[in-house]
Amino acid sequence: MIIAAIVGMAGAGKSEAAGIFEKHGFKRIRFGDITDIEIKKRGLALNEENERATREALRAEHGMAAYAILNRPRIDESLSKNPVVIDGLYSWEEYKSLREYYGSRLVTVSILASPATRQHRLNSRKVRPLTPSEALSRDSSEIENLNKGGPIAMADYNIINENSLSDLCIYLEQIIQKMGAAR
């Protein structure tokens, strides 16, 4: 079975894209669930500051491939029944770890949007909204500290997501068809 890993900056539309894959029978694994679980374990509030600190602490403890390694059991279990979509592959090291472990079954899809579009989306979202300055700070942190650019640059497919959700759906359905033909 195939693994579609969604990559992109915050607010680009990764979760929307993962939802479209889910509608096509893929099991969604959100890498950020590991952060949320750890924040709850630590008794912290769910906010950008605690999320960033927790992500960085987990990577300090487990290495830059932490989320790929910590999510591997969930991926393997799901792959036994369904294709998988990873919502939010971040670091170059995670990408390399997954590529080494899953080989050609891993397909990456980059969702791209301008900083202005992403900041608007992040500011208006219902769950975990960010101000424009928080969004810019998160962008800098993810590029400089999490090596996020590599997986975006190496994506198998690139989608510019500046328009409507229906446009995103059309582009993704074309990619999903291509993936189905390659299975």
What backbone torsions phi and psi does residue 99 show, to the nearest 5 degrees?
-60, -45
Please check whether the domain covering 3-182 is classified as CATH 3.40.50.300: yes
Domain ranges of the chain: 3-182
Name the packing angle between helices 48-62 and 33-41 (round to 10°). Answer: 100
In DSSP notation, 18-81 reads: HHHHHHTTPEEEETTHHHHHHHHHTT---SHHHHHHHHHHHHHHH-TTHHHHHHHHHHHHHHTT
What backbone torsions phi and psi does residue 30 show, to the nearest 5 degrees?
-90, 115
Kindly give the confidence (pLDDT) of every residue in the chain, 183 residues in length, as a single tens digit, with 9 standing for 90 and above.
Answer: 899 999 999 999 999 999 999 999 999 999 989 999 999 999 999 887 898 899 889 999 999 999 999 999 999 999 999 999 999 898 999 999 999 999 999 999 999 999 999 999 999 988 788 999 989 998 998 899 888 999 999 999 999 999 999 999 999 999 999 887 555
Helix, coil or strand: residue 128: coil
Burial class of residue 141, CB neighbours in 10 A (0-12, 13-18, 19+):
middle
Radius of gyration of the chain (CA): 16
